[in-house]
Amino acid sequence: MLLRSNATRLLLPSLLLCVLCALRELCVVSPSSIPPTHIATKIRYNLPSYPVPLSTQFRLVLVTCPSLPEARKISRSVLEKHLAACVNIHSAPVESIYHWKGKIETAREHLLLIKTTTRHLKSLEKEVLRLHSYETPEFLVLRISSGSQAYLRWLSASCKK
Amino acid identity of 118?
T
Cβ neighbours of 3 (radius 10 Å): 7
Per the structure, the complete domain to which residue 66 belongs is given by 58-160
- Between helix 121-131 and helix 68-80 the angle, nearest 10°, is 140
Instruction: Single out the residue of 60, 65, 57, 61 nearest to residue 119, CA to CA.
Output: 57
Same domain, 72 and 12: no
Same domain, 67 and 32: no
Same domain, 33 and 88: no
Distance (Å, whole) CA 145 – CA 147: 7
Answer whether residue 23 shows pLDDT above 90. no
Distance (Å, whole) CA 110 – CA 70: 9
Distance (Å, whole) CA 67 – CA 154: 29
Q: What is the mean pLDDT of residues 11-30?
A: 42
Same domain, 117 and 71: yes
Same domain, 30 and 98: no
Instruction: Give the per-residue pLDDT at 160.
Output: 83
Answer whether residue 21 shows pLDDT above 80. no
Q: Are 87 and 131 in contact (CB under 8 A)?
A: no
Same domain, 142 and 69: yes
Q: Is residue 86 part of a domain?
A: yes
Q: Is residue 51 part of a domain?
A: no
Q: What is the mean pLDDT of residues 40-61?
A: 59
Answer whether residue 96 shows pLDDT above 80. yes
Q: Is residue 50 part of a domain?
A: no
Say which residues have a Cβ less than 8 Å from residue 108's Cβ, sequence separation at least 6.
93, 94, 95, 96
Same domain, 109 and 141: yes
Q: What is the mean pLDDT of residues 70-80?
A: 98
